[in-house]
A and B are shown apart, each in its own frame.
With several copies, the nearest count.
Chain A
Amino acid sequence: MAKRPDHSEKADAELSFEDALAQVESVIESIEAGEIGLEKSLTEYERGVRLIKRCREVLANAEQRIEMLTKDLKPAGRNESE
């Protein structure tokens, strides 16, 4: 159930941050509604965790990228220390 990448896992990995978060939301809803079985809710939870991790990754990458870009910008701005 966990390690084998399945269709949805691949598709999930290509979701945008917002879509991923929206998917998490729908995962939460489906779990909370309690209409899916325990096993299925576990799988969903797992998927939710995966999606959240993906979101975190995207965020971390964004942060890193920003840092890099910002470093690039600093030297030019050093003398305009108003």
Chain B
Amino acid sequence: MAAPRRAVAPPQAGDAPWTVTHLAGEIDGALRKGIATAVRVVGEVSGFRDRTHWYFDLKDEGAVVNCVMFASAARRVNPPLRDGEQVIVKGRVEFYAKGGKVSFILDSLERVGEGPLDRAFRELSEALKSAGYFEHGRKKPLPRFPRKIAVLTSRSAAALQDVINTRDRRCPGVGLVVIDVPVQGQGAAPIIARAIDLLSKDHARLGIDAAILTRGGGSKEDLWCFNERVVADAIFRSEIPLVAAIGHETDTTIAELVADERCATPTQAAMRLIPDKVELVRQTDSLLRRLSSSFSRVAQIAERNTSVHAHKLSAGALARTRAAQRKTTDLELRLERLRPQAVHARMIARLEAASHRLQRAMESGIDVDLAGTGARLAESLRGAMQIRAARAESAEKHLTAVAPVRVLERGFSITLDAKGTLVRKIADVRAGERLRSRVSDGVIESTVGGASPVRKSARRRDDAGQPGLF
């Protein structure tokens, strides 16, 4: 089968080398021609990986073959493969050029030793799977702290004791409600299903928050009631979260697949549902601490705010009065500075000036030239006197001048003594006295030599008139 290819190839071997792709094509062709299209191979599953498509190795004591089962084929297999399973696979061999590997592509797969129960299991599980019973999306979350947990099991089962022990250890406060159901044998499944239905209906009334469906290990036949459709349907319908732990860890039942959570053992199921009290107390304590610290922070802030406000308030009030005080003092100083002005220096000046002027006015008022007036008065009189004296003098002169002249022309003279007194008698003169005698044309001055009386007749004549003397 390989020879003809080799016959074709050598002539060109010397000049043009094959590409890798070409070689891969050659290998693939050789494989397709050399191995039948559908072979059945038995072996043990190893290194199983579910990557939508399934990848695993099929091995026996002497060899390992790489296997791929595409999703379309893998979907028909239920339950999924597990390492170590003996399987008989049907398929074809291919060379996977990109990976440089030979792969066995599986069309179908059957488990070695699958009896009627296995087939029934596989068929029901395939049906339920396609009905969506196993989907995670529909599974109910488990309560974090269930008040009561229903335990569906046989009251005499060791599994029940495990659950009770776990509850007592973790949180005694969580109540357990045991629902005694048969866990094996003909007719157990409907009872279990009915119990689940009733629980689902009444759990709220009963205060039950979750349920555990459990039993210990046993034969495939013993566990069979948990693979029946009624139970699966009841679990699927149930409104109460349900944890299933049936048989040993390696056993898988339909009930477990439909349940909201699957656990390996009753103890694990109990642990899964019953919180650890110590942990919860710690959590509660920490919440309490957070609570009080959060509040005391609020109170502290409030206190600080109050203090700050109190401080600001008193400071503000103080500043306000200080400002008022400053303003008052300013005004007070201004008012005080006004003080000299208040007595009005201008008024004082005016008053003093008035006082001086008044004095001066009065002084000049009495400054009358009385002396001048007196002098003028005296002068006026002196003038009047002078005029009069002059007039008297001139009158005298005139009088003297008109002394009786014609008499003198007739030879008489008038003799006057030194005093100017007319000499009439000898007694009027004394010897030695100087006389002045007026004659017609002038005055003769003479000295009295002597005087003697005349005769009686002469004296009589004298009496009759002076001329008689001359």
Contacts and interface: CB of A to CB of B under 8 A. Distances in A.
Direct A–B contact in the complex, CB atoms closer than 8 angstroms: yes
A67 to B, nearest CB: 5
B30 interface: no
Interface string B385-413: 10111011001101100111111000010
Interface string A46-58: 1011001001101
Contacts of A55: 280, 284, 302, 306, 309, 324, 328, 331, 347, 351, 368, 370, 388, 392, 395
A67 B384 contact: no
By size class, the interface of chain B is 35 or more
A39 interface: yes
Interface in B135-155: 143-145, 147-148, 150, 155
Interface residues of A, number: 46
Given A32-B338, A66-B176, A49 B320 contact: no
Contact of B198 (A24, A61, A72): A72
B459 interface: no
Interface string B136-180: 000000011101101000010000000010011001110111111
A72 B391 CA distance: 28
B125 to A, nearest CB: 27
Nearest to B306: A55
B378 A73 contact: yes
Interface of A: 2, 16-18, 21, 24-25, 27-29, 31-32, 34, 38-39, 41-42, 44-46, 48-49, 52, 55-56, 58-74, 77, 80-82
Contact of A28 (B304, B348, B402): B402
A3 B344 CA distance: 23
A59 to B, nearest CB: 6
Given A62-B173, A66-B381, A42 B363 contact: no
B326 interface: yes
B376 to A, nearest CB: 5
Contacts of B147: 16-17
Contact of B399 (A34, A49, A82): A49
B75 interface: no
Contact of B352 (A17, A31, A45, A80): A80
A38 B298 contact: yes
B176 A28 contact: no
B299 A73 contact: no
A28 to B, nearest CB: 5
Given A28-B358, A34-B384, A52-B370, 18 more contacts: A16-B147, A24-B395, A28-B380, A31-B291, A31-B295, A32-B320, A32-B383, A34-B298, A34-B405, A38-B320, A38-B365, A45-B335, A45-B358, A58-B173, A59-B385, A66-B164, A80-B325, A82-B307
